Amino acid sequence: MSDTEPIQLGAVAVIALMVVFFGGTFLISFRIRRRRENADDFMTAGNRIGFGISAASMTATWIWASSMYASASSGYTYGISGPIHYGLWGALMILFIYPFGKRIREVAPKAHTLAEVMYARHGRGSQLMLASSNIVGSLISLMSNFIAGGVLISMLSPFNFVQGVIAIAAGVLLYTLWSGFRASVLTDFIQVMAMLATVVIVVPVIFVAADFPAAFETGAANLTPEQSNFFSSEAFMNQGAPYIAAVLAYAIGNQTIAQRLFAVRKDLIRPTFITATVGYGAMVIGVGMLGVLALYLGFEPTGGNTDNLIPEMAASYLPFALLCLVFVMIIGALASTADSDLSAMSSIVMADVYGQNIAGKQRANPAVMIWVGRITMIAATALAVVFASFEFSILDLLVFVGALWGALVFPVIASFYWKKVTNVGFVVGALAGIAIFIPVRFELFPYGGGFFALAIAVDVLAVLGIGVIFGLMAFGFFGLRTAYIVGVVTAVAAAPFAIGTLHEYATLSGSLVAYSASTILCFFLSFRSKREFDFSVIKERTGDFDTEHRHALGDDPETDETAQAADTVSGPAGARTANSTTKE
């Protein structure tokens, strides 16, 4: 522990830093706002973002304040392997997105949301399921970022937690409201550069101030045998393995990721995701090591809440100027993801609720769409502020949302590759995955006594889930044959060790049964279908809403035949016509 008392920035400094940060981002957002706004640009920036902005935006979106806090919490809870499990698997999951991303952009080059594509692929059932799950997930993500901001401000200033939450929410809403996704990606670039510079400076300074490496020698007694073991099974089963499952679900089902996938130029998808992989891993693992240092030092966070670790460690070991940098770093991290969540939710309501289901694609008014998006942002911010006041555990929220989305992973991926997937298979499979996830995750099943067979059944489903996850990973890079082999081998190899014990790890087994149940039902409800979907019609059913404005600007992306056909086929009537021959 530091010999000096933790310092605070004070009310004046905190207000000044927030005015500079959010005022600057607002000016950037205001400058890119056009006299006549474009609905498609508000959602996906015209599908033509370049490498630098897209890579920075993907990195900033994946690195949120919650991920920094959670990585430090993992290091404090599980020892040195904690941040590795958190950051490494999260980074690799970004890498696993791009092969699927290439396929998604191939079949739906001008889409705005994954739910919009599911409407073109299946109909309203799967669309509304994916849209609603993303709204819930983004709302939880937004809430967790507001929690992180509230904790930071309450730790470093005289303001309380609720005041901090409200200030962060107002600042993020201020600049995102004007230009939507365009404001998000442009400010992401500035925010990720600030985060990178701060991590490179601050983490080594804290280590030096805490007397590293001597602290690791004198503080070894503070660790349990599992915390001091780099290959800790406890760390892997409670942190690493659940996060492997959770982050793959984030990658496939998350609209904030999909939005950037639809925005970046198609030829830049691969370098964008590779760069984001490296950037995320380096920064998150580096910050997470502060939790490991706190563990060795015997540092006790206030109230035992590990979400307090980063701000309290910074306040204890940094001078005033560097503490200001940490404040800006965390504000930048949470703002970069919070604005992405707002943009994601607004796009879903604009494209899927208003554009497809209320007005219809041919009759949707782009000007009304933009106001729908802005009203959505305001409502979502208000709800997130209310929920943030409950101060849920950030790490638990992240794992819960990821596991919940796990039920959608196979149905979504299969819908882009397999012609036989039906709407019934998609919806029933996803609902079954969610239904079995909840009692397993929250340990509602009675495993003891005469219910041991139920525990074995859960373990068998979880083992199948292991095979599904590794099979899907292999499929993205190496194809179907390799996926079958990898999936079967991993499931068979895990079975002797997992059956009989895996149900004891509720977080992990909950994630795994969500994958397996949704996969099994989606497959068996679809494989006997005699109708095969024609993927080429997705290009016709998805596309720009504001085509008139694009023609007027001389920026007409509708240059190929399938895109030109979108205006005549993608509306409700066109969709019904296509349904008669190609939809299941």
| Domain containing residue 317: CATH number | 1.20.1730.10
Verify that 496 and 506 share a domain, yes or no: yes
Q: Which two tokens stand for residue 88?
A: 């490494």
Please indicate, yes or no, if residue 4 is contained in any of the structural domains.
Answer: no
Q: Of 384, 417, 450, which residue is a domain's last?
A: 417
Q: Which two tokens stand for residue 70?
A: 């959670």
For residue 264, what are the β-bridge partners?
49
Q: Which two tokens stand for residue 407?
A: 């039920």
Count of domains observed in the chain: 2
Verify that 411 and 446 share a domain, yes or no: no
Please indicate, yes or no, if residue 212 is contained in any of the structural domains.
Answer: yes
| Residue showing tokens 């095979």 | 467
- Residue-wise DSSP of 271-330: HHHHHHHHHHHHHHHHHHHHHHHHHHHT---GGG-GGGHHHHHHHHHS-HHHHHHHHHHH
Cβ-based burial of 372 (10 A; exposed 0-12, middle 13-18, buried ≥19): buried
Tens-level pLDDT at each residue, the chain (584 residues): 445 566 778 899 999 999 998 988 888 777 766 555 677 887 887 778 888 888 888 888 888 777 788 889 999 999 989 999 888 888 887 888 888 988 999 999 988 899 999 999 998 888 888 888 888 888 888 888 898 888 889 888 999 999 999 999 999 998 888 777 877 787 787 778 877 888 888 889 999 998 888 888 888 888 888 888 888 888 888 888 887 877 777 777 778 888 888 888 888 888 988 998 888 888 889 889 999 999 999 888 887 888 788 888 888 898 999 999 889 888 888 888 888 899 999 999 998 988 888 887 778 888 899 899 999 999 999 999 988 877 666 656 665 666 667 888 999 999 999 999 999 999 999 999 989 998 998 888 888 766 788 999 999 999 999 999 999 999 999 999 999 999 999 999 999 999 999 999 988 898 899 999 999 999 999 998 888 899 999 988 887 777 654 444 444 443 333 233 333 333 333 333 333 333 33
Please indicate, yes or no, if residue 538 is contained in any of the structural domains.
Answer: no
Q: Of 530, 557, 574, which residue is a domain's last?
A: 530
Q: Which two tokens stand for residue 115?
A: 């739910």
Verify that 33 and 142 share a domain, yes or no: yes
Which residue segment(s) compose the domain that 427 sits in? Answer: 418-530
Task: Give the pLDDT score at 558.
Answer: 38
Verify that 408 and 446 share a domain, yes or no: no
Q: What amino acid is encoded at 548 in this protein?
A: E
Please indicate, yes or no, if residue 437 is contained in any of the structural domains.
Answer: yes
Please indicate, yes or no, if residue 481 is contained in any of the structural domains.
Answer: yes
| Residue showing tokens 């009203």 | 375
What size, in residues, is the chain?
584
Verify that 172 and 57 share a domain, yes or no: yes
Assess contact for 487 and 470: CB atoms under 8 A.
Answer: yes
Strand ranges in 353-473 using DSSP code E only, listed in sequence order: none
CA–CA distance, 3 with 11 (Å, rounded to integer): 24
Verify that 397 and 516 share a domain, yes or no: no
Task: Give the pLDDT score at 252.
Answer: 79
Task: Give the pLDDT score at 556.
Answer: 42
| pTM metric for this prediction | 0.82
Alpha helix (H) residue ranges in 33-123:
39-44, 51-62, 65-78, 81-107, 114-121
Verify that 157 and 27 share a domain, yes or no: yes
Assess contact for 220 and 228: CB atoms under 8 A.
Answer: yes
Angle, alpha carbons 395-399-401 (nearest 5°): 115
Verify that 205 and 333 share a domain, yes or no: yes
CA–CA distance, 350 with 36 (Å, rounded to integer): 17
Verify that 77 and 31 share a domain, yes or no: yes
Verify that 383 and 482 share a domain, yes or no: no
Please indicate, yes or no, if residue 535 is contained in any of the structural domains.
Answer: no
Please indicate, yes or no, if residue 424 is contained in any of the structural domains.
Answer: yes
Verify that 407 and 508 share a domain, yes or no: no
Q: Of 386, 401, 417, which residue is a domain's last?
A: 417
Residue 260 Cα to chain centre, angstroms: 12
CA–CA distance, 362 with 404 (Å, rounded to integer): 34
- Radius of gyration for the alpha carbons in the chain, expressed in angstroms and rounded: 24
Q: Which two tokens stand for residue 428?
A: 């029933």
Verify that 292 and 386 share a domain, yes or no: yes
Cβ-based burial of 3 (10 A; exposed 0-12, middle 13-18, buried ≥19): exposed
- Residue-wise DSSP of 494-505: HHHHHTTTGGG-
Please indicate, yes or no, if residue 555 is contained in any of the structural domains.
Answer: no
